[in-house]
Structure 1
């Protein structure tokens, strides 16, 4: 088993890694609330409320939030995809479920940075250290149910509320694999987790649909072989043939693609089982690759697409797990908007904005179940 010190270092690393009838024409109209479950890609402040003093301090302070103006608990320099989606639907930003004295009139964010899809007790054993963050998808789903029951008097009222809501189940599952990889598991071993992770996501989605949700989006995983943190970890053991034309690690991207392929098939089965709901798959994998391929035209520095804006270590990736963004010795670049990666694991506000545009206003939401109010348009 890894030492406690090593595990703490990776916990920080993994944290940073960390619907109408059928496809009716008005499927995306009338969304008055968003409910979101997931991990650090979506967390708008739950982890910083949950973590004890001293844990994960970096995201509580600048330079996290520097573009926004102050730290918000988001793992970025500014806003996330969920924020841009809310804006485009004419809704306020989602407040974190664990926030005090916050308005939940237009939805709630249950996502927690570092969270796994599967319960740690179900997945981890003595060869894989249990992560600090225990707020798995099961826990978040319980929060969601508790919130709805405490906010509405009957199941009928809950169903009525969900008729005018959008529910995002994910992105989640990436940390299940991250912790396993850190436990020195080979890719062929980690692949054995894919069926369980996908089943957990689909089972949660079924429960949401049974509650009355009729607009549900299930995102896939990113091409993790393009992430500076992983590129740094593998740099010493990789050969030139291990990289594709974009400079990403083929094997890790193939792994992520296997997860996504299985998840897409399961989402297709869900759509068939719930024909009166609009269920869509958000293709984070191919939209991210499209961002990389069109980086210059989207306003990014093509030479820095695999380099962290905030970090230490320089080189091709500017990532050092011992001196991550916010730690002593790490610095932030002057123009985050020209970088895709913020801290070597998470993306910049500019990249999240581009991703949101590609997915929700482009061709990477399959099928397109949202129509956006004209007066708000695209952010």
Structure 2
């Protein structure tokens, strides 16, 4: 009978220990970095998305109506106004689904009579439009407002509802065939991303009352969700707004005495807090009206604040300065020369930054926010509650 020498035993022990340690380290890193791919299996069959630039995966970019700098940005990042993926991309991946395709890409094929064009939409559609506004066109003309992102007058939130209804019509969801889509939508997740970001940016320094704007924005948000429920949607996430007053765009346009101890614009954040309070209440009201639905409020403010307060925990470092900008000032931001302008450049490691261009957040930040929504209880009720509700049916 052969026996192993002490040196062989030591080598074997070291090899086993190193293998175990490396495996353990990979697991811990995957957990800490918020690895989301397939985490929640195939709970949902599709994801349908609505919202603004924090959710748009290509519609506004396809329309070529963005200001030059933003057009350059979205061309480099797959149609997104960031340096990469958005929360809706990570949410879709968590349920083993591809990112929902922009509606304009699908409808273009459909209108060109491509056979089976809508078959590409079986895993979801993204109707969100970057820079879309709750304000109607007349406010941009009568008040001589210029838009942060658009060259001229932006699309309104209702455009997305109109596109969705066109989608229903093309899928033959009307009349006697409506039951087909209703059954299909029962297994889909509807993601209504932040609505109102563009509006709050646009009215800074104008005579438009922010309280009135808040009421209008919530009204438009509610119309989107009601349209979804009427079409048969059962599982809906309504995302609130982040503290826009802490973003470089708002800070750069605020007078010093209007900034709080954290350097955030107080008037802007006061409006956003009211917006979120009303939206959260409205989500609860919609839930009570639709007993068979599961409607969550995603607390963007709380998620953003949590990450910025302890950035190292989320593998981030720079919480105030934009990654992409002119390279000047404490914020690396100039509203006249935003990221994408000829005189701007990006930082070497965007994964360490919260802000991408002073207006939008980075892919790294989007991923962490999505992880907090999905796995850390930053939705009310929690995502687990929604998943259990669906699993029990």
Superposed pair shares fold, TM > 0.5: yes
In terms of Rg, which structure is larger?
2
- Report the TM-score when normalising by structure 1: 0.81
- Render the CA deviation track for 1:223-268: whole Å, top value 9, x for unaligned: 011101111111xx212x7313x33223321210011111111111
TM-superposed CA distance for 1:313, in Å, is: 4.7
1:46 aligns with one of 24, 34, 59: 59
The answer to whether the aligner puts 1:169 opposite 2:192 as a matched pair is: yes
- Render the CA deviation track for 1:128-163: whole Å, top value 9, x for unaligned: 427535322211011111112211352111111110
Partner of 1:323: 337
The answer to whether the aligner puts 1:87 opposite 2:106 as a matched pair is: no
TM-superposed CA distance for 1:112, in Å, is: 0.8
| Paired residues of 1:162 and 1:214 also in contact (CA < 8 A) | yes
Partner of 1:149: 169
Partner of 1:7: none
Partner of 1:306: 320
User: Matches of 1:185 and 1:230 in 2, distance apart?
Assistant: 17
User: Matches of 1:97 and 1:330 in 2, distance apart?
Assistant: 31
User: Matches of 1:71 and 1:197 in 2, distance apart?
Assistant: 28
Question: What 5-or-longer segments of structure 1 have no aligned partner?
Answer: 1-26, 374-379
Structure with a larger share of its residues in helix:
2
- Cα distance change of structure 1 residues 349 and 248 upon mapping to structure 2, 3 Å threshold: same
Partner of 2:26: none
Q: Which has the higher contact order (CA 8 A, sep 6+)?
A: 1
The answer to whether the aligner puts 1:73 opposite 2:89 as a matched pair is: no
- Cα distance change of structure 1 residues 280 and 371 upon mapping to structure 2, 3 Å threshold: closer
The answer to whether the aligner puts 1:367 opposite 2:390 as a matched pair is: no
Aligned residue runs from structure 1 range 1-379, under 5 A: 30-52=43-65, 55-61=66-72, 70-99=76-105, 100-101=108-109, 103-121=120-138, 124=140, 126-129=142-145, 131=147, 132-153=152-173, 154-181=177-204, 184-185=206-207, 189-234=209-254, 237-239=255-257, 242-244=259-261, 246-301=262-317, 304-369=318-383
| Paired residues of 1:28 and 1:371 also in contact (CA < 8 A) | no
User: Matches of 1:242 and 1:129 in 2, distance apart?
Assistant: 24
- Render the CA deviation track for 1:13-49: whole Å, top value 9, x for unaligned: xxxxxxxxxxxxxx99631111111110011111111
TM-superposed CA distance for 1:124, in Å, is: 4.7
What SS does the corresponding residue of 1:307 show, helix, strand or coil?
strand
TM-superposed CA distance for 1:91, in Å, is: 0.2
User: Matches of 1:118 and 1:143 in 2, distance apart?
Assistant: 18
User: Matches of 2:154 and 2:355 in 1, distance apart?
Assistant: 26
TM-superposed CA distance for 1:72, in Å, is: 1.2
- Report the TM-score when normalising by structure 2: 0.78
TM-superposed CA distance for 1:94, in Å, is: 1.5
User: Matches of 2:372 and 2:144 in 1, distance apart?
Assistant: 36
User: Matches of 1:138 and 1:152 in 2, distance apart?
Assistant: 21
What SS does the corresponding residue of 1:281 show, helix, strand or coil?
strand
What SS does the corresponding residue of 1:297 show, helix, strand or coil?
helix
TM-superposed CA distance for 1:284, in Å, is: 0.6
User: Matches of 2:146 and 2:50 in 1, distance apart?
Assistant: 21
Give structure 1 regions of 4+ aligned residues with deviation exceeding 6 angstroms: none
TM-superposed CA distance for 1:83, in Å, is: 0.6
- Cα distance change of structure 1 residues 152 and 161 upon mapping to structure 2, 3 Å threshold: farther
Partner of 2:32: none
Aligned length: 330
User: Matches of 1:262 and 1:136 in 2, distance apart?
Assistant: 21
- Render the CA deviation track for 1:249-300: whole Å, top value 9, x for unaligned: 2332121001111111111111111111001111111110001011112111
